Amino acid sequence: MEINNINETEKCFDEDSSNIQNLEELENIRLKYLGKKGAITDIMAKFREVPVELKKEFGIKVNALKTKIENNIEQIKADLASKQIEREIKNTKMFDYSLPVDTKTGSLNPRTIIQKQVVDIFKNMGFVVEDGKEVETEYNNFESVNVPKNHPARDMQDTFWLNNGELLKTQTSAAQNRILRTYGPVCKVIFPGRVFRNEALDAKHENTFFQLEGVVVGKNVTIANLIYFEKAMLKSLFKKDIEVRLRPGFFPFTEPSYELDARCPFCGGRGCHTCGGSGWLELCPCGMIHPNVLKMAGIDPEEYNGFAFGLGFDRLVMIRTNLDDIRYLNSNNLKVMSQFKTKM
């Protein structure tokens, strides 16, 4: 009789649990069978009434049923939960993933970005990085770098002279004397900075622009070393091997003096807009430091020598960004300047 009751209960449970829609219904079923006043408790209460010989079978069956109910309820609970998630997913509205976003990033002047790249390259090559003043004495800007009196560069037309007798430095070399005195006679130093030329502005000419200058001084420095450094620097800058060529140039502070051209990295030398069709970019004025410059910095040119080179940041920026008017770099036109963000 009691055994039949167990079977009956199981049947009822199977029926009850076959169509549960939510957790509430499930809880009701749980209480109906497993609660303090539930079916299982009722059955257990009748244990005493079960004849001795059937007690064992009865016990096993009740426990099996209890376990089954517990397991089924857990299973149904899990099923309900995943159904719920499925429903939630189904009801989710797709975002407009195409909406534009604002990174709220400001911007650096592209010269700053280039300068950082170039400075990092030279730091990796063991160079000291220095800084220079913008107002300089006539001595530092001219005399100390072997620009003689009456040299055209000293004219009003080329130099911004100040009413106290000083001037706005026309070349980063103005810092050479101080730097050689500070770090010489064995040193590798670069010094980026802003330079000024008293000339009329147009799309290709600015009166205020950025350059970098580097010097290497030591014993037995050669033109072969100079070419090595320039190639290494350009390789790092353009991220590929760059063929270079030296052409004779003339600067008072170097002897011999060169213009270093790089095989145009954009067209590989076939000729393009950037290189003006020539296949070469005139990038770095350079040369072996003039013995007079070393002497004026207190370095014996018979014992030490070295090379110096320049690099125009503005030109690099224009090459890299397609900027067609150099004047933008000093303009405070945020429409143009804010396009650069912090990388290039």
Among positions 163-182, residues that touch other proteins (CB under 8 A) are 163-166, 168
What region does 96 belong to: left with phi over 0, alpha with psi -120 to 50, or beta?
A: beta
Q: Cβ distance 276 to 266 under 8 Å?
A: no
Stretch of residues binding other proteins (CB under 8 A), selected from 4-12, 78-86, 89-97, 251-259:
251-259
What's the min distance (Å) between Cβ of 256 and other proteins? Answer: 3
Instruction: Name residues contacting other proteins, limited to 39-68 (CB under 8 A).
Output: none
SS3 call for 289: strand
Q: Binding residues for other proteins, how many (CB under 8 A)?
A: 82
Asked whether the beta carbons of 234 and 243 are under 8 A apart, the reply is no
Cα–Cα distance measured from residue 89 to residue 96, given in angstroms and rounded to the nearest whole number: 16
Q: How far is the CB of 302 from other proteins (least distance, A)?
A: 11
CB of 208 to other proteins, least distance (A): 6
Closest alpha carbon to 127 in 217, 261, 236, 21: 217
Q: Does 238 bind other proteins (CB under 8 A)?
A: no
Burial of 299 (0-12, 13-18, 19+ CB in 10 A): buried
Stretch that binds other proteins, among 51-59, 67-75, 83-91, 195-203 (CB under 8 A): 195-203
Q: Is the dihedral of CA 327, 329, 334, 337 positive or negative?
A: positive
**What is the footprint of other proteins within residues 89-118 (CB under 8 A)?**
104-109, 111-112, 116
Binds other proteins (CB under 8 A): choice among 144, 305, 309, 316: 305
Out of 5, 23, 161, 266, the only residue in the binding site for other proteins (CB under 8 A) is 161
| Min dist. Cβ of residue 84 to other proteins (A) | 39
Residue 324 phi, psi (nearest 5): -105, 0
